[in-house]
């Protein structure tokens, strides 16, 4: 009986030893796996480390070049847009405007147009209308307002009258010259062409046009036509003097524009 127990004990011990050997063999990796693992660790040890990516700073040349290119692109786009919009704001009549009518802001409307004519020919749409502005001529509804069609109340009342004077004297005047107008009437008691003493007909009139203004003004042989701005209440007297064949003389007004004295 004792011998049988000993045999069973030895058999159980041998079985446990076999199981431990098998477990140890299962935990050990194959020979190829050991070599691969060793090479991988060595490669990780000797391989260069990758550089970390850093956020670009203000001193980064590439960032500065990029910003410069963006600014140039924006500036080029603005310049191109400006060149495509070559329009000018001018005033147009919001309704029909009649001569002598006082023009107010609601009578005009600014419009943008592509101007071929010089800007000075039309009323600038960026400037406010001066108080007391009066229409000097008719402007139709929707028409661009010429700069010369508006003026002051005095200009609206005054009229332009053409008077014949000596051609040599006419050459001495320019547009805007302030003159006094003298008249020598015919002497009815004399035979032939005779004139009475000159008398002052109009003070401080303004020359509006002369024969040298490239306007073709003329009044026959020996006479030259000069246009003079005459107050409304004196227009009749000037026209009557011209019709009666009186001799008109323009004398530069002392202290006036264009005066030669």
Whether the Cβ atoms of residue 165 and residue 211 lie closer than 8 Å to each other: no
Give the span between the Cα atoms of 142 and 82, in whole angstroms.
Answer: 26
Residue 224: CB atoms within 10 A of its CB come to 21
pLDDT value, residue 35:
46
Assess whether pLDDT exceeds 90 at residue 250.
Answer: yes
Query: What average pLDDT does this structure show over 7-36?
Result: 56
pLDDT value, residue 226:
93
Whether the Cβ atoms of residue 167 and residue 218 lie closer than 8 Å to each other: no
Whether the Cβ atoms of residue 117 and residue 132 lie closer than 8 Å to each other: no
pLDDT value, residue 100:
81
Assess whether pLDDT exceeds 60 at residue 222.
Answer: yes
| Banded model confidence at residue 136, pLDDT cuts 50, 70, 90 | confident
Give the span between the Cα atoms of 206 and 230, in whole angstroms.
Answer: 8
Give the span between the Cα atoms of 238 and 185, in whole angstroms.
Answer: 12
Assess whether pLDDT exceeds 50 at residue 215.
Answer: no
Give the span between the Cα atoms of 92 and 124, in whole angstroms.
Answer: 10
Tens digit of each residue's pLDDT (9 = 90 or more) over 61-103: 777 777 888 888 887 776 765 555 577 889 999 999 888 889 9
What CATH number belongs to 88-153?
A: 3.90.1210
Asked whether the whole model's pTM tops 0.85, one would answer no
Spell out the domain ranges in the chain. 88-153, 158-252
Give the span between the Cα atoms of 75 and 245, in whole angstroms.
Answer: 71
Tokens of 254: 């002392």
Query: What average pLDDT does this structure show over 193-198?
Result: 88
Higher-confidence position of 57 and 10: 10
Question: Which of 42-46, 74-78, 220-224, 239-243 is predicted most confidently?
Answer: 239-243
- For residue 85, give every residue at least 6 positions away whose Cβ sits within 8 Å of its Cβ, in sequence order, or none: none
Which residues of the chain form beta strands (DSSP E)? Answer: 88-93, 108-113, 134-135, 150-151, 159-165, 178-184, 199-209, 224-230, 247-252
Length of the chain: 261
């Amino acid at each position: 009986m004792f011998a049988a127990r000993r045999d069973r004990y030895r058999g159980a011990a041998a079985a446990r030893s076999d199981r431990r050997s098998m477990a140890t063999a299962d935990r050990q990796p194959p020979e190829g796996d050991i070599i691969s693992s060793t090479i991988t660790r060595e490669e990780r040890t000797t391989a260069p480390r990758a550089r970390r990516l850093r956020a670009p700073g203000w001193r980064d040349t590439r960032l500065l070049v990029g910003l410069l290119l963006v600014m140039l692109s924006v500036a080029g786009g603005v310049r191109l847009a400006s060149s495509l919009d070559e329009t000018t704001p001018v005033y147009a009549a919001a309704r029909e405007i009649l001569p002598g009518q006082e023009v107010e802001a609601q009578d005009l409307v600014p419009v943008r147009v592509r101007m071929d004519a010089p800007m000075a020919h039309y009323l600038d749409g960026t400037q406010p209308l001066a108080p007391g502005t009066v229409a000097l001529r008719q402007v139709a509804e929707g028409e661009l307002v010429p700069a010369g069609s508006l003026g002051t109340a005095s200009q609206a009342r005054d009229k332009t009258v053409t008077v014949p004077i000596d051609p040599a004297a006419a050459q001495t005047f320019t547009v805007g010259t302030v003159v006094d107008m003298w008249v020598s009437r015919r002497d009815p008691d004399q035979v032939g062409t005779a004139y009475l003493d000159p008398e002052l007909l109009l003070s401080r009139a303004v020359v509006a046009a002369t024969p040298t203004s490239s306007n073709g003004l003329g009044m026959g042989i020996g006479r030259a036509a000069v246009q003079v701005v005459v107050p409304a209440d004196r227009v009749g007297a000037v026209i009557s003097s011209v019709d009666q064949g009186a001799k008109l003389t323009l004398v530069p007004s002392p202290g006036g524009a264009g005066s030669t004295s």
